[in-house]
Structure 1
Amino acid sequence: MLLELKDVTLLYGRIQALHGISLAVGEGEIVALIGANGAGKSTTMRAISGLRPVAQGTIHFNGEDITKLRADLRVVRGVSQSPEGRGIFPGMSVRENLEMGAYTRRNRAEINEDLDRVFTLFPRLKEREKQVGGTMSGGEQQMLAVGRALMSRPKLLLLDEPSMGLAPMLIQQIFDIVVEINQQGTTVLLVEQNAQQALSRAHRAYVLETGEIVKSGTGAELLTDPSVKDAYLGVA
C-alpha cells in the first residue's frame, strides 16, 4: 500500500477527534472519504499531511513510517494537499501561486513541464496566468489550489472538499479532472461531502462518522448500500 493509517487517534485539546482509525490507499487508486460535517474527514487529512500530530497509531507512506515527520518533509516524500477552503495566496498571480507549489524542487526544466501539465488540465488558469488569485471566481481558485498541489509532483494528492461552494457544472468538471489526474498516474485521496460524485469515481471508499470508520467498500458498493444512500445520497 502507498499509504497506511493504523489505529490513528488525534486530539484537539481534550476532545478526541479521531478514534483509532485505520485506512489504506493503494498506488494508482482514487479513494474517497465521505461523512457528515464534523465527522473527522479534514482532521484525517491534516494527520496525513502532518499539519496535526497524532496522539496514537502510525502513518506509513511508501514503506516509510512518517508518523512524526515534519509536514514540509512529507511534501518532499510525495504527499501534497489541496486544502479545504482552497488556501491560495490571494495577492499573488496565478503563475506565482503555482510556482509556490514547487518550492521544494530545483529542476527548472521539470517545473516548467509541470506548469505546462497544469495549464493543459486547466486551460482557464493559462488564460488567467498573470491575474491575481484573490480576484478569481471560486471555481477558478479551486482549479488553482489543485494545480498548485500538483506542482510538487506528488505520489499522493490529498483533495479536501474540492467541490465546496461550486456550481453543479463546475463540480462535474472538477471531478472529471480528478479522474484525469489519476489516469496520468497520481494516486488520490479525496475528502468530499458530495458523496454521489465522489463514490461514482472512487475505486474504494470509507465512511467516517464521529471520528470512526463505520463502513468501507468499493465506490460502486457504497453507492448502492441502503444506509449510505439514506444518510449521504438523499435516497431512501
Structure 2
Amino acid sequence: MLLEIKDLTLLYGRIQALHGISLVVNEGEVVALIGANGAGKTTTMRAISGLRPVATGSIVFDGTDVTRMRADLRVVRGISQSPEGRGVFPGMTVLENLEMGAYTRRDRAGVAADLDRVFELFPRLQERRKQAGGTLSGGEQQMLAVGRALMSRPKLLLLDEPSMGLAPMLIQQIFDIITEINQQGTTVLLVEQNAQQALSRAHRGYVLETGRIVKEGTGQELLHDPAVKEAYLGVA
C-alpha cells in the first residue's frame, strides 16, 4: 500500500474534527473520500499533507511514518496537494506558478519534461503561460492548481474539491483529466462534493460523516448503495 492512516484524531482547539479514522490508498488507485460539508474531508487532506497537526494515530506513506514530518518534507517524499479553493499565486504568471510546484526539484531536464506533460494535459495553460494567475477564469485556475501539484512529480496526488464552482462541461473535462493522470501512473486521493463523478471514476471510496468513516467499498458498490444514493446522489 502507498498510504495507510490508522486511528487518526485531530482537534481544532477543543473541537474534535476527526474521530479515529482509518483508510488505505494502494499504489495506482483513485480513492474517493465523500461526505457532506463539515464532515472532515478537507481536514483529512490537510493532515496527510502536514498542514494540520494530528492529536493521535499514524500516517504511513510509502513505508515511512510521516505523522510528525514537516509539510515540505512530505512534498519531497512524494505527496502533493491541489487545495480546496485552488490557491494559485495571483500575481505570478501561469509559468511561474507551475515552476513553484517544482521548487523542491533539482533535475532540470525532468522539470522541463513535466512542464511539457502539464501543457499537454492542459493546453489552455500553455496558451496562458505568460498571463497572471489571478486573471484566469475559475476553470483555468483549477487546471493551474492541478498542474502545479503535478510539477513535484508526486507519488500521491491529493485533489480537494477539483470541480467546485465549475460549469458542467468543465467538470466533465476535469474528471477526464484526473482519469488520464491516474492512467499515466499517479495515485490519486480525491475529495469531492460531486459524488456521482467521484465514485464513477474511483477504484474505491470512503464515506465520511462528522469526522468518522461510516462506509467503504469499491466506487461501484458505493455508487449503487441505497443509503449513499439517497444522501449524496439525490436519489430517493
SS in structure 2 opposite 1:216? strand
Q: What is the CA distance between 1:184 and its match in structure 2?
A: 0.3
Show structure 1 runs of 5+ residues with no match.
none
Q: Which amino acid aligns with 2:195?
A: A
Q: Does 1:5 align with 2:8?
A: no
Q: Which amino acid aligns with 1:156?
A: L
RMSD: 0.3
Identify the residue that residue 45 of structure 2 maps to in structure 1. Answer: 45
CA distance in 2 between partners of 1:182 and 1:138 (Å): 23
SS in structure 2 opposite 1:69? coil
Q: Does 1:188 align with 2:175?
A: no
Q: Does 1:124 align with 2:124?
A: yes
SS in structure 2 opposite 1:114? helix
Identify the residue that residue 229 of structure 1 maps to in structure 2. Answer: 229
> 1:51-106 CA deviation, whole Å, 9 max, x = no partner?
00000000000000000000000000000000000000000000000000000001
Identify the residue that residue 137 of structure 1 maps to in structure 2. Answer: 137
> 1:165-197 CA deviation, whole Å, 9 max, x = no partner?
000000000000000000000000000000000
Identify the residue that residue 156 of structure 2 maps to in structure 1. Answer: 156
> What aligned pairs does 1:1-236 form with structure 2 within 5 A after superposition?
1-236=1-236
CA distance in 1 between partners of 2:235 and 2:138 (Å): 29
> 1:190-210 CA deviation, whole Å, 9 max, x = no partner?
000000000000000000000
CA distance in 2 between partners of 1:4 and 1:85 (Å): 26
Q: What is the CA distance between 1:41 and its match in structure 2?
A: 0.1
| Identity score, percent | 84
User: How many correspondences in the alignment?
Assistant: 236
Q: Which amino acid aligns with 1:151?
A: M
CA distance in 2 between partners of 1:88 and 1:137 (Å): 12
CA distance in 2 between partners of 1:107 and 1:225 (Å): 46
CA distance in 1 between partners of 2:129 and 2:47 (Å): 32
Q: Which amino acid aligns with 1:163?
A: S
Q: Which amino acid aligns with 1:206?
A: Y
Q: Which amino acid aligns with 2:76?
A: V
Q: What is the CA distance between 1:21 and its match in structure 2?
A: 0.1
Q: Which amino acid aligns with 2:61?
A: F
CA distance in 2 between partners of 1:9 and 1:143 (Å): 32
Q: What is the CA distance between 1:5 and its match in structure 2?
A: 0.2
SS in structure 1 opposite 2:206? strand
Q: Which amino acid aligns with 2:173?
A: Q
Q: What is the CA distance between 1:28 and its match in structure 2?
A: 0.1
Query: What is the TM-score normalised by the length of structure 2?
Result: 1.00
Q: What is the CA distance between 1:7 and its match in structure 2?
A: 0.1
SS in structure 1 opposite 2:162? coil
SS in structure 1 opposite 2:33? strand
CA distance in 2 between partners of 1:37 and 1:167 (Å): 20
Q: Which runs of 4+ in 1 moved over 6 A?
A: none
Query: What is the TM-score normalised by the length of structure 1?
Result: 1.00
CA distance in 2 between partners of 1:107 and 1:206 (Å): 36
Q: Which amino acid aligns with 2:9?
A: T
Q: What is the CA distance between 1:33 and its match in structure 2?
A: 0.1
